[in-house]
Amino acid sequence: MNPAMTTRDANLPAEYSAGLDRLSLAPLWTALHVLLPQERVTEAVPHRWRWAEMREPLLEAARLVPLDQAERRVLVLRNPGLGGAYAVTATLFAGLQIILPGEAAPSHHHTPAALRLIVEGRGAFTTVDGVKCAMEPGDLIITPPMRWHDHGHEGSEPVIWLDGLDIPLVRSFEAAWASKMRPAVVPATAIDSSQDEFTAAGVVPRASRYEDTGYPQVRWPWTTVRRALEAMAAAAQADQPVVLRYVNPGTGTFPLRTIGSEAQWLRPGEATRAERRTASGVFHVIEGQGESRIGDEVFTWERGDCVVAPPWHWIQHKNLSRSAPACLFHFNDEPALRALGLWQEETRS
């Protein structure tokens, strides 16, 4: 916790201090150590949200709140250290969204970047600039800044996904803005058209049939990513972590400018070496059972759980199964930190 900021120097004449106040001026010397502490401090704390405790309240929200009224039916993961802010870390937002068969969440666009990681259910889709993206458990879909998007559902069971956005970061620039909602658009094709150009690693279309928005790929199916992780795990040395980064296939760099995403495969019994980074982020369990140490806290986890890691906390994961792999999805603010010259990482030897 930050100590309170003092703008008054008790050693100064009261009249002088009052004069500064009137001029909207303040001495820096009373606040410098708070603005620039000598150790990294975070108000965000490590925390875990259990899927087993979130699922019912989400289904209940779907019974209680009509989508016409909510527009987006989301329960927000609020970091207990951030004083009730709609934020999971100082820069990131996380929430779980539920949509029922036959519902349509209207179309809009906004300055914050967003991603979705599908947690449960089949038959829903997100339309990004007219491109229909099927939502299957474990899939990643991005909706980049200012790209129109809506959600629909043609299936027969509730669909729930994790939303990750950079809203707190964008709000700190006072740059958060969204268009008015419009009715959901009819996608350009009746079936998923997100996978017709980037279907294999190492090859890209010489000419795309899509408009160049800077975001050539918006959906990464879990079946593809899981297969890649499994192949990598089979070939990797036992002491090498098995982690894949989601990238823009045209540039090989982060698909969004502010939010990075990774998928990690933990072999049976594997424990990772502790790492710390200046990035903050959220881990989400796609499959398996294990535990993560974040700073001084240890959280056990299973499928659907979310764990938040504040910046510069030592992070270590363990797969507690002796026979099955575990898969973690992770999103973070690494691209934003890199762009600002603030990226740093360490691995404990």
Q: Which among 295, 293, 245, 294 has a CA at the least distance from the CA of 265?
A: 245
Considering beta carbons, is residue 72 or 267 the nearer one to ligand 1HN?
72
CA distance linking residue 174 with residue 146, whole number of Å: 16
Window 92 to 111, contacts with ligand 1HN (CB under 6 A) = 93, 95, 97
Select 165 or 294, whichever has its Cβ closest to ligand 1HN.
165
Least distance in angstroms from the C-beta of 147 to ligand 1HN: 10
- DSSP letter at 186 equals P
Read off the tokens for 84.
Answer: 């009730």
Among residues 119 and 242, whose Cβ is nearest to ligand 1HN?
A: 119
Task: From 133, 258, 242, 137, select the one nearest 198 (Cα to Cα).
Answer: 133
Q: How far is the CB of 97 from ligand 1HN (least distance, A)?
A: 6
| Min dist. Cβ of residue 176 to ligand 1HN (A) | 8
Interface pick for ligand 1HN out of 54, 159, 167, 266 (rule CB under 6 A): 167
Q: Which is nearer to ligand 1HN, 167 or 229 (CB)?
A: 167
Token digits for 200?
């294999």
Residue nearest to ligand 1HN (CB): 163
Among 113, 118, 128, 165, binds ligand 1HN (CB under 6 A): 165
- Is 119:109 a contact under the CB 8 Å cutoff? no
> Both tokens of residue 183?
């009715």
Among positions 103, 163, 270, 334, the unique one binding ligand 1HN when judged by CB under 6 A: 163
First CA to last CA distance, the chain: 29
CB-wise, 163 or 305, nearer to ligand 1HN? 163
Contact 117, 140 (CB under 8 A): yes
Q: Interaction with ligand 1HN in 175-234: which residues (CB under 6 A)? A: none
Q: Is 74 in the site for ligand 1HN (CB under 6 A)?
A: yes
CB 270 within 8 A of CB 85: no
Give the C-alpha separation, 144 to 113, whole Å.
5
- Show the binding pattern over residues 108-127: x = contacts ligand 1HN (CB under 6 A), - = does not: ------x-------------
56 φ, ψ (degrees, to nearest 5): -60, -50
- Window of 89-97, 247-255, 319-327, 340-348 that interacts with ligand 1HN by CB under 6 A: 89-97
Tell me how far apart the alpha carbons of residues 294 and 325 are, in angstroms, rounded to a whole number: 21
Minimum separation from the CB atom of position 259 to ligand 1HN (A)? 13
Q: How far is the CB of 110 from ligand 1HN (least distance, A)?
A: 6
Tokens linked to 223: 């079946």
Total number of residues that touch ligand 1HN (CB under 6 A)? 10
Classify residue 334 by burial, with Cβ atoms within 10 Å: 0-12, 13-18, 19+.
Answer: buried
**Which listed residue (55, 72, 171, 257) binds ligand 1HN by CB under 6 A?**
72
Query: Would you say 267 and 322 are in contact if contact means Cβ atoms under 8 Å apart?
Result: no
Residues that bind ligand 1HN (CB under 6 A): 72, 74, 93, 95, 97, 114, 149, 163, 165, 167
